[in-house]
């Protein structure tokens, strides 16, 4: 029994644009899956459908738990500029009606998990791009999600910060036993992070080929320069090129 199953899902927007055509996808419990594809191939639409933020035009999506068990991380940090880091992280709990002291305690421990001890009372504009993204990840983790949906979260960051956050994300994934669906347009990122890479084609978005990344965890920075890594990157690039040529 897969954890999430997406069966023959199509999505046509009100303006007539078909974003997804008969997409089928299965995600196992505790899996780290990357969805790799060019910009505008409907990857974000697929995430929104899985989250239940939008309804498929055809097909069905099955996933356990409610929407409250999902952590969602966007491409931008998407923080409320008028709230401190702590208040931003505590937001999902606040909307759930949790008492102030408890939600702040949990938010503080989520900030600790992403390495931001001491920044609880900082305002978003005082934080760097990487730190804002960490706050955003802490906000997704604070609900103790069963499922973490990430929509190109590190695309806007510099490479040094991105590599650091990649490593930290893997550590969080292993520690929290959470299922991750990670959307990216970076071949290197998808190979470094995931157990499995699904390649999507564009206009309309379809799920094409798949690649299992059998490399062991924990994956350190040394993995990035290994021949194993380079080999997987080559394979994933070929799949992506083939998907885009279709």
Partner 1 sequence: MRPRFAAPVLLGILMLALWEGAVRAAAIPPYILPGPLTIAETLVADWSTLLASLLVTLRITLEALAAAVVVGGLLAVLFSLSRWLELSLFPYAVILQVTPIVAIAPLIIVWANDVELSLLICAWLVAFFPILSNTILGLRSVDPNLLSLFELYGAGRWRTLVHLRLPGALPYFLGGLRISGGLALIGAVVAEFVAGTGGNASGLAWRILESSYQLKIPRMFAALVLISATGIAIFLLLTLLSHLLLRHWHESTLEIER
Instruction: Give the footprint of partner 1 on this chain (CB under 8 A).
Output: 48, 51-53, 67-68, 70, 72, 74, 76, 78, 80-83, 91-92, 94-96, 123-125, 143
Half-sphere exposure of 132 (CA within 13 A, CB side): 20
Contacting residues for 95 by C-beta, under 8 A, at least 6 apart: none
**Residue 58 or 80 having the CB closest to partner 1:** 80
Q: How far is the CB of 59 from partner 1 (least distance, A)?
A: 21
**Residue 153 or 205 having the CB closest to partner 1:** 153
Q: How far is the CB of 67 from partner 1 (least distance, A)?
A: 5
Q: How far is the CB of 95 from partner 1 (least distance, A)?
A: 4
For residue 8, how far is the Cα from the chain centroid?
Answer: 22
**Residue 123 or 223 having the CB closest to partner 1:** 123
CA distance readout (Å), 105 to 77, 87, 101, 142, 163: 22, 11, 6, 10, 29
Whether 32 contacts 215, CB under 8 Å: no
**Residue 76 or 168 having the CB closest to partner 1:** 76
Q: How far is the CB of 114 from partner 1 (least distance, A)?
A: 17
Q: How far is the CB of 72 from partner 1 (least distance, A)?
A: 6
State residue 155 phi and psi, 5-degree precision: -65, -30
Q: How far is the CB of 133 from partner 1 (least distance, A)?
A: 13
**Residue 137 or 199 having the CB closest to partner 1:** 137
Q: What is the DSSP string of 148-187?
A: EEEESTTTTS-HHHHHHHHHHHHHHHHHHT-EEEEEES-H
Q: What is the DSSP string of 223-240?
A: GGGSHHHHHHHHHHHHHH
**Residue 78 or 186 having the CB closest to partner 1:** 78
Residue for token digits 């955003």? 136
Six-digit token string for 108: 């503080």
């Amino acid at each position: 029994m897969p954890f999430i199953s997406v069966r023959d899902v199509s999505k046509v927007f009100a303006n007539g644009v078909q974003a997804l055509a008969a997409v089928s996808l299965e995600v196992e419990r505790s899996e780290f899956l990357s969805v790799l594809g060019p910009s505008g191939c409907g990857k974000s639409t697929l995430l929104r459908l899985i989250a239940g933020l939008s309804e498929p035009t055809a097909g069905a999506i099955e996933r356990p738990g409610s929407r409250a068990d999902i952590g969602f991380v966007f491409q931008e940090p998407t923080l409320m500029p008028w709230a401190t880091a702590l208040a931003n992280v505590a937001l999902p709990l606040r909307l759930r009606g949790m008492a102030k002291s408890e939600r702040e305690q949990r938010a503080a421990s989520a900030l600790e998990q992403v390495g931001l001890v001491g920044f609880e009372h900082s305002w978003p504009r005082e934080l760097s791009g990487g730190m804002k993204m960490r706050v955003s990840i802490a906000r997704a983790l604070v609900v103790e999600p069963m499922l973490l949906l990430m929509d190109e979260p590190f695309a806007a960051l510099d490479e040094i910060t991105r590599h650091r956050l990649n490593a930290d994300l893997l550590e969080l994934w292993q520690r929290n036993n959470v299922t991750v669906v990670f959307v990216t347009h970076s071949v290197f990122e998808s190979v470094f992070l995931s157990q499995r890479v699904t390649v999507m084609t564009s206009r309309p978005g379809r799920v094409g080929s798949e690649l299992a990344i059998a490399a062991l965890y924990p994956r350190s920075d040394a993995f990035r320069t290994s021949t194993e890594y380079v080999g997987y990157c080559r394979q994933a690039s070929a799949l992506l090129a083939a998907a885009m040529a279709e």
